[in-house]
Structure 1
Amino acid sequence: MTDVLVIGGGIGGLSAAHELAERGIDVTVYEANDRFGGKARSMPIDDGPAPLHGEHGFRFFPAFYRHVVDTMDRIPLRAGDEFADTEDGPTVADNLVGTEETLVASTTSPGNVATVATPESVSEWIETLRPAFVDELPREDVRYLIERLLYLLTSCDERREHELDDVSWWEFIDADNRSEEFRDRLAYATQSLVALRPQLGSARTIGMIYLQLLFGQFDPTRPTEQILNGPTNEAWIDPWVEYLQSLGVTLHTESPIDRLEFDGRRITGAVVAEGAAAPVAGETVTADEYVLGVPVEVAPDFVTPEMATVAPELGRIANLDTAWMNGIQFYLTEDVDLVRGHQVYADAPWALTSISQRQFWTDYDVDARGPEEVEGILSVIASDWDTPGPLYGKPARECTREEIAEEIWAQVQSHLNVAGDTLTDDMLVDWFLDPAIVETDDGVENRSPLLINTVGSLRNRPTADVNIANLTIAADYVRTNSDLASMESANEAGRRAANAILERSGYRGRMARIWDLAEPAVFEPFKRQDAIRYRLGLPHPAEVTQSVRGLTTRLRGRV
């Protein structure tokens, strides 16, 4: 039997624990915070018996999220004192609900509403694309974007990794020489949803994720996008923790690990911080295997020079970049009826997105929680903390917490109130800003930044199974198929870490499943041809932009 110590109880650490515990492995998890879930966790806004919850940011599950949804479907919900049978009974995945539409709000017009339902006819496909392309972008820009996407789809994996990862998405789509509408559309379409900055992120990652979001809408087998029907911990993390405990996993909160001890070949122990809630505070705990599931900003503190010498990929984690993408919840006297889905604020300098939560939080009794006048919750995420806002003329990182709340409220109002008083000041009861945003003398600092994909960063991302005999990594900065700082990537990393441990322990059963990103089969012959060109040192045929007519003609010939 192998026993495993997991450092960090975020999505990656819990995912590794889940896969291992279901296969009979003895697992102990040490988490520094007072709640599990990492950046995905929700938290009570006060100490009352029935508090409202705040979030680091609202959860978003697009169709290409396979790993994390599969895990949720294997977390049973309790039926009285017993867990339901996941074959027939309810699971955490039943707490996912599909959205129906997205509002692209503007400060100059009422905005467009785009459906996220799967099209069922050619006319519906055209209508689906119309708010995104036809009505707002010049025709030549639409043609050029399609050409660029076809370039990606027909590139072999080697070219994507070794060429397109070294080119920014901004450069790849020639944004500086396109229309202003094109730049705005592509900027907020990526940055607002997944914190991918188009000027910094690679064409490989941003382009492929952009395509996955598009493919998701055209797959009738899965909802285009889903969200939770309650705060993250109540709908997902807390049931997960209960299930892991039922499997025998030992879980410690408020128990940070100070450092790892290394003998030049293996990890020999983990030192629990003095004052930790765990009963072994201040002591060194040992295990056969160690899983490092801490955030990207914390991981370098665990990597000693000796460890980086043996496993250079660990030393390169410090080269990865982070950005700020944090949330705020506004508690309202009314349940604001916007659209049944997300709102994207096209003209917001802080790259805002939001969702009106109560319409989805069907099992969360808002009336019984917090101030009695609260009837609605508007959850907003800010993805740009470097651009000055119109209210105070400062970027978010230079504001106080109060100024951040007032600025975001003003930017949201300027979009939603174009056609009337949708959101008025007297509707605001209270707000909750992510506590990771901490005030300093110069503004605020972010104690929970998000990994951001940058040009060439793939080479700095470690695999889950690093070159240390009994250490694996389970976090969203691990190389994964989705290559994106997300719950999906963290879950996949946790599975990869678990598989490495299972292989080393001689396990002969079924390994944790890993999914590839799905791409249309029609492009496979072109990818194979490009693989030959790449090995011969030849450029992709579309490196110099070609007419989309020529490429689509070739595609038709293959069908």
Structure 2
Amino acid sequence: MTERVAVLGGGVAGLTAAHELSRRGFDVTVYEAGERVGGKARSVPVPGTGDPPLPGEHGFRFFPGFYRHVIDTMERIPDGDGRTVADHLVPTERTLVARIHGDHRRADVGTPDTLGEWFSRIRPAGGEVPPREAAFYTERMLELLTSCERRRRKELDEVTWWDFLEADRMSDGYRAQLVEPTQALVAIQPRRASARTVGRVYAQLLVGQLDPRVETERILDGPTSEVWLQPWREHVESLGADVVTGARVTDLELSGHRIAGATVDHGGDRERVTADRYVLAVPVEVAVDLLTEDLRRAAPSLAGIRHLETAWMNGIQFYLREDVPVVAGHQLFVDSPWALTAISQAQFWNCDLRERGDGEVEGVLSVIVSDWNEPGRVYGKPAKECTPGEIREEVWTQLCAHLNREGRERLHEDLVVDWFLDPELRQTDDGVENDAPLLVNTVGALKHRPPADPEVPNLYIAGDYARTNTDLASMEAADEAGRRAANAVLDDAGSTAQRCRVWELSEPSIFEPLKAQDRVRYRLGLPHPGRARTQVRGALRDLLA
């Protein structure tokens, strides 16, 4: 008899689990709370902008070179035109690091061609950081790359990125260029971020730039749901799965040591769902509400998710009368109090925006706000205390302050046809509330993250908060978590089907001998060799101070 699997959540993790299990013969039903699959990755039609409408989104998507799980999945999804959705990935060329004062920097993201270019990639932040501090930063990155895994898990996960890089004693340029950009990467302050997580991801991004076999950074050639997520849903359904949207899970029913059912809300109508196995693929803040005291007792490994933290990282799109490419890639606005990043999308999209809305739009500037707690420049309030209209004005003002310089006006108000704020932000009397926060990797979070197979025999965890090799909350981690949950289902069901492939993060093999040396030192209770040298230098500095 075919086993029935209820996948509770239709984001990237849930769709991955459904994809892998349905193609292996399981009877799968996906229950997604929203009207569209894909979770935070989805794009949405902007209400009131015509037919077809303009595309909006939670935030722009990008696919760095170290993504392997999600790319492999995309390579197995037909796009309906004889290709796969992976064929809709296009490379960026460079990143703009914009300042209000000081020089802008355009960094190539392709593989270096000359020896000089290789050294320029490794040297941090060009000439904006004092040489001694740049050398210290490089030492710290090498310490990360040469630390054994046990040291990373036991020591580096308990240290903030700020303290690991000793930011308090460094220059403003060091902090602005090398420490604080984590705000745009993982949506949290470097004073809270785990050095293990941030350092590993930075290393992956750097290695990706230096590896000629991979594209350093890619984006989709159209709105995400149109070129990826909707074809994915259709493919999963073609494999025999059912996908039900507008179906929010509200309760997990525990009977003995097993899940006996789940309650799903269809816009006020409740349904009791039963299956042989249940894959929980909802966001972490939703999962916390579903974990009753009885369920936490039955599955102690799930109790820790109450301690996982989230932050805000939401987007706004500006629809422009003229396309303003700025740079053929992403833009980082380092002097913006709200930690803005952006990309001008029309230059990459294989669609004509003039055929959407009222025909006036030729460009889309998609912006992500990563710091919602710092006061803005216009109203002096944090983003979360602003109205949607105030958020729009603040973001536009901060963009203009960076891009309209030296007599050149790239952005002006007359360009804006319309704008769209992430619909997960609800206006309240005090500003906005966020219905879709992002999991963040704070110090010590690793020990609270659950495995794919907790102690309840027919319950499985798929979400970017599960324990994965990828670690960072991302589409890649979600895809990996979906694969791990599918593999756990296959194991428990005694299936003979091939298991889903799971990759380790790839690091340069040149560091393996040094990692082996550090494994010995860690077992002996000794510090990392680089840390020992730093401690000696610090002691000498204190003596001479």
TM-score, reference length from structure 2? 0.96
Of 334, 344, 366, the residue aligned with 2:332 is 344
Displacement after TM superposition at 1:311 (Å): 1.1
Deviations 1:433-490 (A, max 9, x none): 0011111111111111000110001111111111110011110101111111100000
**In the TM superposition, what are the counterparts of 1:78-227 in structure 2 within 5 Å?**
78-79=80-81, 84=82, 90-129=83-122, 132-227=124-219
Displacement after TM superposition at 1:432 (Å): 0.3
Asked whether the equivalents of residues 341 and 368 of structure 2 are also in contact (C-alpha less than 8 Å), the reply is yes
Displacement after TM superposition at 1:9 (Å): 0.3
**In the TM superposition, what are the counterparts of 1:31-42 in structure 2 within 5 Å?**
31-42=32-43
* Partner Cα distance (2:257, 2:277) in 1: 13
Question: What stretches of structure 1 of length at least 5 have no aligned partner?
Answer: 85-89, 550-559
**In the TM superposition, what are the counterparts of 1:426-505 in structure 2 within 5 Å?**
426-505=414-493
**In the TM superposition, what are the counterparts of 1:320-399 in structure 2 within 5 Å?**
320-362=308-350, 364-399=351-386
* Residue in 2 that maps onto 1:5: 6
After superposing the two structures, state which structure 1 stretch, 340-349 or 434-443, moved more: 434-443
Q: Which amino acid aligns with 1:415?
A: H
Of 288, 313, 316, the residue aligned with 2:304 is 316
Of 387, 390, 399, the residue aligned with 1:400 is 387
The alignment partner of 2:67 has SS state of: coil
Moved over 6 A (4+): none
* Residue in 2 that maps onto 1:258: 250
The alignment partner of 1:76 has SS state of: coil
The alignment partner of 1:522 has SS state of: helix
Q: 1:492 to 1:101 in 2, by over 3 A?
A: same
The alignment partner of 1:544 has SS state of: helix
Q: Which amino acid aligns with 1:428?
A: V
Asked whether the equivalents of residues 196 and 206 of structure 1 are also in contact (C-alpha less than 8 Å), the reply is no
* Residue in 2 that maps onto 1:235: 227
* Residue in 1 that maps onto 2:542: none
Q: 1:200 to 1:483 in 2, by over 3 A?
A: same
Q: Which amino acid aligns with 2:514?
A: F
After superposing the two structures, state which structure 1 stretch, 539-548 or 48-57, moved more: 539-548
2:516 pairs with 1:528: yes
Displacement after TM superposition at 1:188 (Å): 4.1
* Partner Cα distance (1:180, 1:502) in 2: 52
* Partner Cα distance (1:173, 1:520) in 2: 22
Q: Which amino acid aligns with 2:12?
A: I
After superposing the two structures, state which structure 1 stretch, 502-511 or 374-383, moved more: 502-511
Q: Which amino acid aligns with 2:66?
A: F
* Partner Cα distance (1:441, 1:57) in 2: 24
Q: Which amino acid aligns with 2:72?
A: D
* Residue in 2 that maps onto 1:289: 277
Of 34, 48, 72, the residue aligned with 1:70 is 72
Deviations 1:292-325 (A, max 9, x none): 0001111011111111012122121111110000
Displacement after TM superposition at 1:272 (Å): 1.9
* Residue in 1 that maps onto 2:531: 543
After superposing the two structures, state which structure 1 stretch, 222-231 or 527-536, moved more: 527-536
Q: 1:112 to 1:275 in 2, by over 3 A?
A: closer
* Residue in 2 that maps onto 1:29: 30
Instruction: Give % identity.
Output: 56
* Partner Cα distance (1:95, 1:546) in 2: 47
* Partner Cα distance (1:366, 1:138) in 2: 45
The alignment partner of 1:318 has SS state of: helix
Displacement after TM superposition at 1:545 (Å): 4.2
Q: Which amino acid aligns with 2:152?
A: R
Asked whether the equivalents of residues 146 and 548 of structure 1 are also in contact (C-alpha less than 8 Å), the reply is no
The alignment partner of 2:71 has SS state of: helix
* Partner Cα distance (1:516, 1:480) in 2: 9
* Residue in 2 that maps onto 1:87: none
* Residue in 2 that maps onto 1:555: none
Deviations 1:371-403 (A, max 9, x none): 322111000001000111111111101111100
* Partner Cα distance (1:377, 1:222) in 2: 27
Q: 1:274 to 1:382 in 2, by over 3 A?
A: closer
Of 281, 305, 312, the residue aligned with 2:293 is 305
Q: Which amino acid aligns with 2:468?
A: T
The alignment partner of 2:531 has SS state of: coil
Q: Which amino acid aligns with 2:76?
A: R
Deviations 1:404-452 (A, max 9, x none): 0100000000001013110011111110000111111111111110001
Asked whether the equivalents of residues 51 and 357 of structure 2 are also in contact (C-alpha less than 8 Å), the reply is no
* Partner Cα distance (2:198, 2:231) in 1: 33
* Partner Cα distance (1:197, 1:18) in 2: 36
* Residue in 2 that maps onto 1:61: 63
* Partner Cα distance (2:39, 2:226) in 1: 14
Q: 1:139 to 1:301 in 2, by over 3 A?
A: same
Displacement after TM superposition at 1:23 (Å): 1.1
* Partner Cα distance (2:416, 2:383) in 1: 21
The alignment partner of 1:349 has SS state of: coil
Displacement after TM superposition at 1:196 (Å): 4.3
* Partner Cα distance (2:426, 2:409) in 1: 32
Q: Which amino acid aligns with 1:300?
A: V
Q: Which amino acid aligns with 1:66?
A: R
Q: Which amino acid aligns with 1:154?
A: T
After superposing the two structures, state which structure 1 stretch, 45-54 or 164-173, moved more: 45-54
TM-score, reference length from structure 1? 0.93
2:517 pairs with 1:515: no
Displacement after TM superposition at 1:548 (Å): 13
* Partner Cα distance (2:91, 2:230) in 1: 22
Q: Which amino acid aligns with 1:226?
A: R
After superposing the two structures, state which structure 1 stretch, 33-42 or 132-141, moved more: 132-141
Question: What stretches of structure 2 of length at least 5 have no aligned partner?
Answer: 538-545
Kindly tell me the number of residue pairs found equivalent between the two proteins: 534
After superposing the two structures, state which structure 1 stretch, 137-146 or 42-51, moved more: 42-51
* Partner Cα distance (1:37, 1:61) in 2: 15
